[in-house]
Amino acid sequence: MPILVTGGARSGKSTFAEKLSMFYGKQGVYIATAQIYDEEMRERVALHREQREQTGFTWETIEEPYELVSLLPTLEGTRIVLVDCLTLWLSNILLRCEGQPDANEQVMKQIQALVEASRNFAGSLIFVTNEVGSGIVPEYKLGRQYRDLAGLMNRKLAEVCEQVYLVTAGIPMEIKSKAVKL
């Protein structure tokens, strides 16, 4: 059962997704997509790890910034898989393709492959992602490209996810069941 957890930066998405994982079981796989490029990011990652350890929930952490799509099938049958975060994964993929004339097509292929891998995943698959399109229009082409691809990715995943949560100011709300159907 795929679940999407979205919201703004520092809204409480990861904390909620981890608590949701604990609701579904006693242990899980945590797929971290972040890459550590500087000391500030190293400190953030260390803090997240420490906070997870303090919960008593058993996590197997897999660091995978690129090959998320090929990793998911190897975890079939795992009761709980938490991916944190899709927008970091997307930026990794986009930067890998940057400057290539078919960059958007390459990224969209990865997004579609992720949607397909998620569609029938056996177990609880929880994705954390950011809502990046609610702010100002990015000044640079790459920023606008990223914003647009993130919005498309979130929409495509929301279609196949059984539940979609929006976290704002630390308050999670399940929104898919409340969607207006026209």
The reply to whether 32 sits in an annotated binding site is yes
H or E stretch at 32 = strand 27-32
The reply to whether 11 sits in an annotated binding site is yes
The reply to whether 162 sits in an annotated binding site is no
The reply to whether 102 sits in an annotated binding site is no
The reply to whether 44 sits in an annotated binding site is no
Structural contact between residues 6 and 155, judged by C-beta atoms closer than 8 angstroms: no
The reply to whether 122 sits in an annotated binding site is no
Options 4, 17, 31, 48, the catalytic residue: 48
The reply to whether 50 sits in an annotated binding site is yes
| 3-state SS class at 173 | strand
| 3-state SS class at 22 | helix
48 is catalytic: yes
The reply to whether 38 sits in an annotated binding site is no
d(CA 152, CA 158): 10
Residues assigned a catalytic role: 48
- As annotated, the binding site includes 7-14, 32-34, 49-52, 63, 84
Binding residues for GTP: 7-14, 32-34, 49-52, 63, 84
